[in-house]
């Protein structure tokens, strides 16, 4: 899938396969009926239950019968959704886990302390949170393929405009983890006296029943319709290529992603790899990913569902960051941002993080 989890699965799986590891994928999105294939890997369909608990354990048992060595089940999802005693019957479970709160939510900690789980923190923030609770773990960040690099659009859709891009998913209402209200209100205030300001939203415009009506929010934020451009909604559902996204990031003057919490925050790295500075919240994994950009102030926001703290980005601080970005010279590639992202190159991360972990199970 052309999503953060989808692209991260792909870059790791390809390198595992190249090393000779036999692979089977359990989908939890995008494949409903019938066994399929992704490149050379067998793909079991998602279950009728949201997280596939109704089918994945039987899938595991069948693959286990075929295997001539221990079978490692690796999860890439929120671990608080993982339930049941059947996990204990597996050879081993590796959980590449996002931590998007101030510390470990109780349900997340309850999973990570299980004897059969090997936790992997995907951010330094997550690593610190696990260490604070005495949980042994590995640290392997998300990573970037080589095509995330400065690129040029064939035709500039925003000639002469100062383009602020927000590429975040529009899912969830209370809490709104992507802090759509604060970000759009801040842009509305910033753009009042700037006729060349443009907002590009690479997301679902209406939320499709599970998110926010961004069209209504744009109006409530005082943003004139002519200052906003959404990605083509059909093309968004079909999947915009990474190459096109690289060109969009490169053309953008700044990426705005000051959210309430991030397990990682891959678009922040993608944009910087394309030479574009970023604006993020001073919370969770976000500040550790800034090579060139602005880190905005936050205040605590209690998440009663997870019993942990999110953070609300402060509107005035976002406005200040947007103004500082606006004052920068235009149409330049930030070499500082590009250089920073080299530490997250997929080959480097795989060799330094995944290879030692995989060898430990041999």
Q: What is the mean pLDDT of residues 246-266?
A: 97
Instruction: Determine the pLDDT at residue 29.
Output: 83
Band (pLDDT 50/70/90 cuts) for residue 351 is very high
Instruction: Determine the pLDDT at residue 307.
Output: 97
Reply yes or no on whether the pLDDT at 249 is more than 70: yes
Q: Which CATH code of 1.10.10.10, 3.40.50.2000, 1.10.150.120, 3.40.109.10 fits the domain covering 4-143+345-360?
A: 3.40.50.2000
How high is the mean pLDDT of the chain?
94
Reply yes or no on whether the pLDDT at 356 is more than 90: yes
Q: What is the mean pLDDT of residues 288-305?
A: 97
Higher pLDDT, 353 or 30: 353
Instruction: Determine the pLDDT at residue 291.
Output: 98
Reply yes or no on whether the pLDDT at 238 is more than 90: no
Say if CB 310 and CB 260 are below 8 A apart: yes
Instruction: Determine the pLDDT at residue 127.
Output: 98
Report the C-alpha dihedral over residues 269, 274, 278, 281, rounded to 10 degrees. Answer: -10
Band (pLDDT 50/70/90 cuts) for residue 30 is confident
Residues recorded for the chain: 362
Give me the sheet containing 254-257, strands edge to edge. Answer: 228-230, 197-201, 162-166, 254-257, 278-281, 293-296
Q: Is 179 left (phi over 0), alpha (psi -120 to 50) or beta?
A: left
Instruction: Determine the pLDDT at residue 176.
Output: 85
Percent of the chain topping pLDDT 70: 100
Q: 93-123, pLDDT tens digit by residue? A: 999 999 999 999 999 999 999 999 999 999 9
Reply yes or no on whether the pLDDT at 69 is more than 90: no
Instruction: Determine the pLDDT at residue 1.
Output: 79
Report the C-alpha dihedral over residues 285, 290, 269, 94, rounded to 10 degrees. Answer: -30
Give me the sheet containing 24-26, strands edge to edge. Answer: 24-26, 41-44, 36-38
Q: Is 137 left (phi over 0), alpha (psi -120 to 50) or beta?
A: beta
Q: 50-66, pLDDT tens digit by residue? A: 899 999 999 999 999 99
CA 232, CA 357: separation in Å to the nearest integer? 41
Q: What is the mean pLDDT of residues 10-17?
A: 95
Helix (H, G, I), strand (E, B) or coil at 61: helix
Where are the CATH 3.40.50.2000 domain residues in the chain? Answer: 4-143+345-360, 162-343
Cβ contacts of 125 within 8 Å, gap of 6 or more: 99, 284, 285, 288
Instruction: Determine the pLDDT at residue 331.
Output: 67
Say if CB 242 and CB 273 are below 8 A apart: no
Q: 169-204, pLDDT tens digit by residue? A: 998 887 789 999 999 999 999 999 999 999 999 999
Q: How far is CA 179 from the centre of its chain?
A: 15
Reply yes or no on whether the pLDDT at 223 is more than 70: yes
Q: What is the DSSP letter of 289?
A: G
What is the DSSP secondary-structure string of 327-345? Answer: TSPSS---HHHHHHGGGGB
Helix (H, G, I), strand (E, B) or coil at 83: coil
Q: Does domain 162-343 have CATH number 3.40.50.300?
A: no
Pairing of the two strands 72-76 and 41-44: unpaired
Q: Which among 1, 141, 9 has a CA at the least distance from the CA of 76?
A: 9
Say if CB 257 and CB 284 are below 8 A apart: no
Task: Dig out the tokens for 19 from the structure.
Answer: 């090393």
């Amino acid at each position: 899938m052309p999503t953060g989890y989808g692209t991260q699965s792909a870059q790791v799986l390809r390198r595992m396969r190249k090393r000779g590891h036999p692979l089977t994928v359990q989908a939890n999105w995008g494949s409903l009926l019938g066994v399929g294939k992704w490149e050379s890997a067998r793909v079991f369909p998602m279950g009728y239950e949201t997280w596939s608990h109704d089918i994945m354990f039987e899938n595991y048992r069948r693959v286990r019968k075929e295997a001539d060595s221990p079978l490692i089940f690796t999860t890439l999802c929120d671990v608080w959704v993982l339930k049941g005693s059947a996990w204990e019957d597996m050879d081993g479970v590796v959980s590449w886990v996002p931590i998007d709160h101030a510390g470990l939510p109780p349900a997340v900690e309850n999973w990570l302390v299980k004897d059969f789980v090997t936790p992997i923190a995907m951010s330094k923030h997550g690593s610190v949170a696990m260490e604070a609770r005495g949980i042994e773990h590995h640290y392997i960040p998300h990573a970037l393929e080589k095509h995330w690099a400065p690129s040029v659009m064939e035709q500039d859709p925003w000639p002469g405009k100062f383009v602020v891009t927000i590429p975040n998913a529009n899912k969830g209402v209370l809490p709104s983890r992507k802090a759509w209200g604060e970000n759009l209100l801040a842009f509305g205030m910033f753009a009042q006296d700037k006729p060349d300001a443009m907002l590009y939203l690479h997301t679902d415009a209406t939320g499709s029943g599970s998110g926010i009506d961004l069209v209504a929010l744009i109006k409530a934020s005082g943003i004139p319709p002519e200052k906003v451009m959404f990605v083509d909604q059909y093309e968004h559902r079909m999947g915009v290529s990474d190459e096109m996204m690289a060109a969009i990031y490169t053309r953008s003057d700044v990426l705005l992603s000051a959210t309430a919490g991030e397990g990682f925050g891959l678009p922040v790295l993608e944009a910087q790899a394309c030479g574009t500075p970023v604006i993020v919240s001073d919370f969770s994994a976000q500040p550790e990913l800034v090579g060139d950009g602005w880190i905005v102030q936050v205040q605590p926001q209690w998440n009663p569902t997870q019993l942990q703290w999110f953070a609300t980005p402060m509107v005035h601080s976002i406005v200040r960051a947007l103004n500082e970005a606006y004052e920068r010279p235009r149409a330049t590639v930030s070499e500082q941002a590009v250089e920073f992202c080299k530490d997250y190159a997929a080959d480097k991360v795989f060799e330094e993080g995944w290879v030692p972990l995989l060898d430990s199970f041999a």
